[in-house]
Structure 1
């Protein structure tokens, strides 16, 4: 995986002595594998809504984190966590109303076919479980992923996360396909081309004696740079996999929970019903919880051959948190807000792109947008993207970059992001580009 927007020791001379000391302490006790953001790393101590605050009280607009989906430290979520934590926290081998209330509320947001849920603690675990179930159900091992996919960090899922880089070999039974690309002049071609690539991957599996188990896709292709339209372009590829005996697993860790502003789940933008849906990060608003929803006939087959237990997943505290997050989305009518704010944001980004040729493309849906930086020849421009990311950090706006060339701004704020916050981002971005 490209170390996008990663701090490097070569920049340590420009940061405060206090932060230098913390970085050295961190390196000494936590080792070298962890990554820090920004050339000038942040020491954050508090969050509220779309804002985070550093140790000196400086406020930063969070335009990056989808984990606190309903905003940092939302009072309704925090209160639910504290109330249950004072009473009991145990596991799913005992009966408890919370896990049932949460499961019922969760599957109630899904198409009727996805009527059962299982819980994990991380999105990596959720994808690991989904692939395990798909392989047992189909009798196959082959999984189709995109060229720069990210689905998690467990051993079995890291080898299905092609963005991990050469250090982590892709599974021999996996096949990679190019992520879709937007084609405004011929939108129908997007789905046809993607389906053709999936069929080619299936044909290659057959040639090598590999039976397909699943097509595993992040619905918004986040790590690939973010691709959203036209609506329905995934259908032909999903049909091809099912015809070959495989399942469709929709990884909704980054595209779910109303982020499109149109539907609760990203796959609904394509009028599809996956066989398994994997969930994570936003599910607990920062509390570590994740899971899957699944068609019951698939889970029944799995349960006849295997059992499942996770000490922490589905515990009463986590279930109270998950239920509270869904309640906030519903009670605060966040999807309508996401739609309106997202429309304003995309219009503003397109306006900036018209004034700055270094922006090659703007695309998005709801509160998820990608902004590509390109050279005059149209080549990906990671250098400019990095300057913009760090320039925005100095403007007290936190953002990230993604894509195989690290040249795409990844705009993915909490769902409580409003029009006035979008205007702060747009103004800051224009100032940074003007200085460049």
Structure 2
């Protein structure tokens, strides 16, 4: 039976013929894990090993991973493997005991932040970090109102799911949440994306106030990844940030997607826009697969929360997590991975843009560093979103053993997000196979 999962690039039971082994494993998942989980692709993939930018199935077939930013510096990076193994064999303890790893890491991470951001609090996941950030923001401002973009994703806790519209209509938004259109440079009515976006945030602030809700925060990720990957022009966030601060709220930069050098311009996505957040949240890429995340912030913003509440997290900031995170940060800085994201990302983007002259379904190619979005349309003049074609392309690439996904409100943007170690040769493989798939789909 085919059912609507409400998730872009989701496996839909009955939509494609599966081999016996895959069908059996899916049946076991349903039996053992229940009905809420989702799988990628019309024909889900079973992996048993990873190395660098490659994943391997049980038969040893290699798939180029151009999507999974959890392992931001590549699967099984030796520095992370060694650090985690060494610390796991030595000591695992939490932040209620003194340990120098958590201090060394916090000091090194904060050194990458703008002046004024001086404290760091550890969590396990990005959802966990955003949940904590909301508590801090509401304590500091005395408000409750939250402003996000229309297809934003910020996490899965009850608090955070209430301002993550991309989870779908069956996950209701909170009455204290307002959404604004994403800063869509491709469809901008005026060409001034910054002014349009600021006006949207100002309108959301007025609506909250009209309903007696004091604004607490505006939160966005610096690349608007779920909204369709919008990268510029650099600096367009300034008006929106100013608007929320004038209203008595704060700006939270969700760097789970755009942080740790992903955009290639700087360590953090917000730095592309010349703004300094009040709080910065981070997650998945921080531990390259080990669960570690956190919140960095201005001391004055954290002060009131710290005065009123004790904070503790059993696994947030444990010694193993701190060593995993340190190994990732050292690899990014010592291996030149921010620069690689910039240079290889530009090379990959140029390669995909060259395909636009051959394939009219490519309406726009955008992004920064190794985070690209490719808008798929049925009519370039009308800029008509083509979700069906997007699904065919994503699954066609899966069959070519290249892994990407899709995003955007209309589910028509290819979401390409390779690890920071991605090479030009691997970019060539992606472009060549994308060309082949586009030709077949046409």
TM-score range for the pair, normalised by the shorter chain length: over 0.9
Is residue 219 of structure 2 the alignment partner of residue 216 of structure 1? yes
Q: Distance in 1 between matches of 2:11 and 2:212?
A: 44
CA 1:383/1:107 → structure 2, altered by over 3 Å: closer, same or farther?
A: same
Equivalent residue for 1:423? 428
Q: 2:414 aligns to what SS in structure 1? A: strand
Q: Distance in 2 between matches of 1:53 and 1:424?
A: 16
Q: Deviations over 1:65-93 (max 9, x none)?
A: 11111110000110000000001101100
Equivalent residue for 1:6? 10
Equivalent residue for 2:129? 126
8 Å CA contact 1:188–1:233 kept in 2: the answer is: no
1:394 to 394, 399, 417: 399
Equivalent residue for 1:290? 293
Q: Deviations over 1:325-371 (max 9, x none)?
A: 00000111111111110111111111101211111111011001000
Is residue 374 of structure 2 the alignment partner of residue 404 of structure 1? no
2:37 to 34, 37, 47: 34
Q: Distance in 1 between matches of 2:191 and 2:281?
A: 27
Q: Deviations over 1:17-70 (max 9, x none)?
A: 111111111100001110111111111000000000011100000000111111
- Report 1:239-278 matches (<5 A): 239-278=242-281
* Structure 2 gap ranges (5+): none
Equivalent residue for 1:136? 139
Q: Which runs of 4+ in 1 moved over 3 A?
A: 183-188
TM superposition score normalised by structure 1: 0.98
* Structure 1 gap ranges (5+): none
2:311 to 303, 308, 313: 308
Equivalent residue for 2:362? 359
- Report 1:339-358 matches (<5 A): 339-358=342-361
Q: CA deviation at 1:2?
A: 3.1
Q: Distance in 1 between matches of 2:72 and 2:375?
A: 24
Q: Deviations over 1:280-338 (max 9, x none)?
A: 00000011111110001111111111110001110000000000000000111111111
Q: CA deviation at 1:265?
A: 0.2
Q: Distance in 2 between matches of 1:329 and 1:392?
A: 28
Is residue 100 of structure 2 the alignment partner of residue 107 of structure 1? no
1:371 to 362, 374, 381: 374
Q: Distance in 2 between matches of 1:27 and 1:396?
A: 25
8 Å CA contact 1:261–1:339 kept in 2: the answer is: yes
Q: Distance in 1 between matches of 2:364 and 2:428?
A: 20
Q: 1:126 aligns to what SS in structure 2? A: helix
Q: Distance in 1 between matches of 2:240 and 2:23?
A: 50
CA 1:188/1:387 → structure 2, altered by over 3 Å: closer, same or farther?
A: closer
Q: 1:26 aligns to what SS in structure 2? A: helix
8 Å CA contact 1:2–1:163 kept in 2: the answer is: no
Q: Deviations over 1:187-221 (max 9, x none)?
A: 86100010011111111111111101000111111
Q: Distance in 2 between matches of 1:224 and 1:2?
A: 15
Equivalent residue for 2:174? 171
8 Å CA contact 1:183–1:190 kept in 2: the answer is: no
Equivalent residue for 1:155? 158
8 Å CA contact 2:126–2:281 kept in 1: the answer is: yes
8 Å CA contact 2:144–2:213 kept in 1: the answer is: yes
Q: Quote the RMSD (CA, aligned, Å).
A: 1.3
Q: CA deviation at 1:185?
A: 9.1
Q: How many residues align?
A: 435
8 Å CA contact 1:6–1:38 kept in 2: the answer is: yes
Q: CA deviation at 1:183?
A: 5.3
8 Å CA contact 1:250–1:267 kept in 2: the answer is: yes
- Report 1:12-23 matches (<5 A): 14-23=17-26
Q: CA deviation at 1:126?
A: 0.4
Q: Distance in 2 between matches of 1:414 and 1:87?
A: 30
Q: CA deviation at 1:9?
A: 1.6
Q: Distance in 1 between matches of 2:6 and 2:417?
A: 19
Equivalent residue for 1:58? 61
Q: 2:357 aligns to what SS in structure 1? A: helix
